[in-house]
Amino acid sequence: MMRLICAVLMCASQACAQERIDPTTIDLDVNVRKAFSENRDRMTAHYQSQLSMFAVDGERLNLSTLDALIALASSAQRGRFVGSFLGYDLDWDGQITRTEYNSVFSSDFPLAESNADAWEQGAASNDLNGDDVITLIELLAVAGREQPLKKIPTKLRYIDEMRHWDLDGDGYVSQSEITDIIAANVGE
């Protein structure tokens, strides 16, 4: 019986052990690669500061927390969107009319080439029923839409990029893994 238990434990530990991924097989996003090529030291410092900001122990980023971090940042971004948009509600009636929007836009951007098109360019997509009035309900519906990754704050896009940088398969990204991937993709 003891041999059976030892055999099971030995097989389990061998199955859990993963080979380290070769950092040259990790493809960096084109924009990230370009940023590293242009200023490697600054970008390395940026990634390592992001790592220490979001890391569980200051040194390793727990990949299982990435979705929660991105959801939190998206929620904060939606709040800023709603708050800033409500600044266009001049009479505080809970809706933004085309006239109110164009008035605020004209005062904020007096030198803009075409203030007449401000509504069409900046707000019409938020007017879900096309009546030239954006109600708070419409605004909240727009703010609640899932945002594509490109609209997520830059800091978290960089963190999301790191999702694939776990070279040893332990569920964390460490500073040494960041350094290895940068060296493999951008050079020493």
- Name the nearest CA neighbour of 172 among 67, 68, 61: 61
- Report if residue 166 sits inside a domain: yes
Residue 96's identity, in one-letter code, is I
Total domains in the fold of the chain: 2
- Report if residue 29 sits inside a domain: yes
Q: What is the pLDDT of residues 30-83, one digit of tens each?
A: 877 787 788 888 877 877 777 777 777 777 888 887 777 777 777 777 788 888
CATH number at residue 129: 1.10.238.10
Q: What is the pLDDT of residues 160-170, one digit of tens each?
A: 777 788 899 88
CATH number at residue 174: 1.10.238
Residues 133 and 162 in one domain: no
- For residue 46, CA distances in Å to 63, 73, 85, 139 come to 18, 18, 31, 35
Res 108: pLDDT: 72
- Report if residue 125 sits inside a domain: yes
Residues 139 and 80 in one domain: yes
Does the pLDDT at position 131 exceed 90?
yes
Residues 132 and 85 in one domain: yes
Q: What is the pLDDT of residues 140-184, one digit of tens each?
A: 888 776 555 455 555 566 677 777 888 998 888 888 888 888 888
Residues 113 and 163 in one domain: no
Distance of alpha carbon 114 from alpha carbon 88, whole angstroms? 18
Q: Which domain holds residue 109?
A: 76-143
- Report if residue 40 sits inside a domain: yes
Instruction: Name the pTM for this structure.
Output: 0.52
- What is the DSSP pairing of strand 172-174 with strand 60-62? antiparallel
Q: What is the pLDDT of residues 107-127, one digit of tens each?
A: 776 665 555 667 777 788 888
Residues 84 and 138 in one domain: yes
- Report if residue 45 sits inside a domain: yes
Residues 84 and 177 in one domain: no
Residues 176 and 135 in one domain: no
Residue pair 119/101 in contact (Cβ under 8 Å)? The answer is yes
